[in-house]
Amino acid sequence: MADEEISKAFRELQFKTNETRMRIAQGEQNKKLSTHKMRVSQSTKKNLVDLDQDLKYYRSVGRMFLLTDKAAEMQRHDDEAQQAKDRIDAIDKQKEYLEKGLAEAEANLRELIQSRR
């Protein structure tokens, strides 16, 4: 009976560690995407700075283009970059939390293996 409980606890801890590792990897992928989006937005804004104020600026929305002004486009790119930075910060915090949980689960797993011997 005790052996079954130990093996069940072992499976649960192993599942938890694997799931946590997957969530950390997924967070890293999301972080890469957000970093890329932030860099693209910053680069586009940098290119807009050099352009004339009187030019027509178009923004792609689905299959159409909207006429906007330079200030609105600059602000939009600032907002996109800030949102991406906020997402990156949130992902880093979540990763830190998950890594703490993973370390705790791995310690519990080691302890369970030691008690089994």
**Looking at the DSSP assignment, which residues form a beta bridge with residue 57?**
68
* pTM metric for this prediction: 0.80
Residues 98-116 pLDDT 10s: 999 989 988 887 887 787 7
Q: What's the pLDDT tens digit per position in 40-97?
A: 999 999 999 999 998 999 999 999 999 999 999 999 999 999 999 999 999 999 999 9
| Domains within the chain, CATH numbers bracketed | 2-116 (1.10.287.370)
Q: 98 near 26, Cβ under 8 Å?
A: no
> In whole angstroms, what is the distance from residue 110 CA to residue 94 CA?
24
